């Protein structure tokens, strides 16, 4: 027998127990199981294991479903606010980048002028330009991290 037939049979056995299979797939599986002892044993073991799981009685708290529904509702109410906040943050970041690109020559000249006026080494005023561009990004990342921590604490 081909290894693909065994793999396909095992997938059909699993699918049969989970979502059901078509009559054509059922006929194909039955034909294979009639010829293959290992796949037939796999089907018997799978059926037996699922029957054992279904026979287990688990006591659950009476209000478990109500509590789960409440948590789902609360989470659903939080999601639009988070999405709006993230969209606003992305919009602010995009505007910041656009303004940053537009003002880059002016900022460069301004820092060069300050460097020459105060007789600063080139490294110092160029580092100032770099910081000028990095600080807003660091602040935005900090805001996102704080927002995530706030949401995680609220979820607990």
pLDDT tens digits along 59-116: 878 888 888 888 888 888 777 766 666 777 778 878 887 888 898 899 999 999 999 9
Q: What pTM was computed for the model?
A: 0.39
Distance from C-alpha of 132 to C-alpha of 139, rounded to nearest angstrom: 12
Q: Regarding predicted confidence, which is higher, 23 or 153?
A: 23
Q: What long-range pairs does 40-49 form, CB within 8 A, spacing at least 24?
A: 42/9, 42/10, 42/13, 43/13, 46/13, 46/14, 46/17, 47/17
Q: Regarding predicted confidence, which is higher, 117 or 147?
A: 117
Tell me, what's the pLDDT at 2?
63
């Amino acid at each position: 027998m081909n290894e693909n037939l065994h793999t396909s049979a095992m997938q059909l056995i699993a699918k049969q127990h989970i979502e059901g299979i078509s009559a054509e797939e059922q006929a194909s599986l039955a034909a294979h199981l009639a010829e293959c002892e290992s796949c037939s044993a796999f089907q018997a073991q799978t059926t037996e294991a699922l029957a054992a799981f279904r026979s287990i009685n688990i006591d659950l708290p009476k209000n478990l479903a109500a509590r789960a529904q409440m948590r789902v509702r609360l989470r659903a109410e939080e999601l639009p606010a988070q999405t709006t906040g993230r969209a606003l943050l992305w919009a602010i970041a995009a505007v910041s980048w656009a303004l940053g690109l537009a003002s880059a020559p002016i900022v460069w000249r301004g820092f060069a002028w300050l460097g020459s006026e105060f007789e600063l080494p080139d490294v110092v005023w160029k580092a100032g330009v770099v910081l000028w561009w990095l600080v807003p990004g660091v602040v935005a990342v900090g805001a996102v991290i704080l927002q995530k921590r706030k949401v995680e604490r609220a979820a607990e």
